[in-house]
Structure 1
Amino acid sequence: MTARVGVVTFPGSLDDGDAARAVRLAGGEAVRLWHADPDLHGVDAVVLPGGFSYGDYLRCGAIARFAPVMESIAAAAAGGLPVLGICNGFQILCEAHLLPGALTRNQHLHFRNRDQVLRIESPATAWTNTFAAGQEILIPVKNGEGCYVADERTLDELEATGRVVARYVGGNPNGSLRDIAGITNAAGNVVGLMPHPEHAVEALTGPSLDGLGFFTSILKHLAGAPA
């Protein structure tokens, strides 16, 4: 049976269509989910896409965390549902306390849009299992508030427990502490990533095909998950 991966659309989402296409290219079925509908429609995993949910008023992701769909996603994630938050989706996961820390204004106060090398630190998540530890990949980054921050105790815990998923290599585009580009929760089913893997899945439009690995990883994970 084809894995069904939900892609949420919030008012202001920009990359939901790209995320759905990436799911399909990986071999999954993309299921569109609406922010105001709490029904997850039986999906096997969820992607929170990039964009500017609710216009990024208050703080990025601060309003989206209260969307009816997020209540359902938070409850399902606690039960093991795999969730990937990309860029604004990462911000939403932090605001919803599904991941620790916060995303703040880029230290240089400029929007940064470029192709970025990442080093995969942990392949032990539902979204990174097709990568090798230490593997370097090239995917786009585009954000104005992508600086990951947390207190030293939290950062040390993330490091000690292998929960840093990816780091920036060859220059930090936003000032994220310890060059962190992505993290996971303790269970490994919830991942937040600031760069955009959904924009590196086709040779015609991406700098590489490296982003496809995040989407093939979730299908591999679901294929091995108990029914």
Structure 2
Amino acid sequence: MKIGVVTFPGSLDDSDARRAVRLSGGEAVALWHGDATLRDVDAVVVPGGFSYGDYLRAGAIARFAPVMGEVITAAKGGMPVLGICNGFQILTESHLLPGSMIQNDHRRFLCRDQVLRVENAATAWTAGFAADQEISVVLKNQEGQFVADRATLDRIEGEGQVAFRYVGVNPNGSSRDIAGVTNERGNVVGLMPHPEHAVEEGFGPSLDGRTFFTSALEQVVSS
């Protein structure tokens, strides 16, 4: 199964995401921000970094890259799409996911190992986890605070669209400790922490990140 990983000018974690795909048993396909095709991939990862230098605001320019038109169409058709950190920001700017991302409440860049609780284990990217399972991955961001108006927060809580929550101290001020969300269909997931940095023994706090990618691969096989 082929998982495409998009590279934008300023992407930092695209090579890590491709490595995570390979270690999880998939074929990683490099996608360029100017591509007008997804090259017949079965799923897409929009990786972390600082696309287009985070000018205007994080993800605001990348949302209009040619490849994102293809990603948006494919996501609306049911293709699994994962947005990690800057990728999460891009997916909210693309209106594939609810809410928005702003600067951390402490106004500092943050890098640490982070425990998350899996709130929704029924998405394309979380089906290999159990509900309420605690996992450990890497967190590193500057604009990682998830925000939304109260009505949106109540709606996504009620409809099970909160995918992950921070455990322990909230690292960036995100509303209701939300670390990641999903769309209503469950094929699109975004989160600020980096599962691609927790896929290999001796690197990162755990191997929990690998389950994101194996979940998607199994979803494609079964669909």
- Give the shorter-chain TM-score range: over 0.9
The one-letter code sitting in structure 1 at the alignment partner of 2:84 is: I
- Does residue 199 in structure 1 map to residue 197 in structure 2? yes
Q: Within 5 A, what are the aligned runs for 1:50-65? A: 50-65=48-63
Q: Within 5 A, what are the aligned runs for 1:1-227? A: 3-225=1-223
TM, length-normalised to structure 2 = 0.99
Q: Aligned partners of 2:108, 2:198: CA distance in 1, in Å?
A: 23
Gaps of 5+ in 2: none
Q: Aligned partners of 2:23, 2:154: CA distance in 1, in Å?
A: 37
Identical pairs, percent: 68
Gaps of 5+ in 1: none
Q: Aligned partners of 1:72, 1:117: CA distance in 2, in Å?
A: 33
Q: Aligned partners of 1:42, 1:224: CA distance in 2, in Å?
A: 17
Q: Aligned partners of 1:111, 1:38: CA distance in 2, in Å?
A: 34
**4+ residue stretches of structure 1 with deviation over 3 A?**
none
Measure how far apart 1:203 and its partner are. Answer: 1.6
Q: Aligned partners of 1:13, 1:144: CA distance in 2, in Å?
A: 15
TM, length-normalised to structure 1 = 0.97
SS in 2 for 1:202: coil
Measure how far apart 1:170 and its partner are. Answer: 1.2
Q: Aligned partners of 2:208, 2:80: CA distance in 1, in Å?
A: 20
Structure 1 range deviating more: 180-189 or 202-211: 202-211
Indicate the RMSD between aligned Cα atoms, in angstroms: 0.5
Q: Aligned partners of 1:213, 1:75: CA distance in 2, in Å?
A: 26
Q: Aligned partners of 1:160, 1:87: CA distance in 2, in Å?
A: 24
Q: Aligned partners of 1:203, 1:44: CA distance in 2, in Å?
A: 27
- Aligned pair count? 223
SS in 2 for 1:97: coil
Measure how far apart 1:100 and its partner are. Answer: 1.1
SS in 1 for 2:6: strand
Measure how far apart 1:35 and its partner are. Answer: 0.1
